[in-house]
Amino acid sequence: MENTLWKLFETTGNIEAYLSYTHFKKYNNRMKEKEKVIYDEKKAK
């Protein structure tokens, strides 16, 4: 998914695609962090 957005940006220079790409990455990282926190909390119990 994110690679498609990046390729779209590279080929078209479409700023919308680039923004979606960066937003997607940020969102992805945030979800990973949340999962990690939940995992750590479960492990601590």
Q: What is the pLDDT of residue 44?
A: 86
Q: Per-residue pLDDT for 10 more than 80? A: no
Domain count, the chain: 1
Maximum Cα–Cα distance across the chain: 50
Three-class DSSP labels, 6-44: HHHHHHHCCHHHHHHHHHHHHHHHHHHHHHHHHHHHHHH
Q: Looking at residues 41-45, what average pLDDT do you find?
A: 85
pTM (global) more than 0.75: no
**Percent of the chain predicted with pLDDT > 90:** 0
Q: What is the pLDDT of residue 4?
A: 81
Categorize the per-residue pLDDT at 1 as very low, low, confident or very high, splitting at 50, 70 and 90. Answer: low
What is the domain extent for residue 38? 2-44
Please give the Cα distance from 19 to 15 (Å, whole number).
Answer: 6
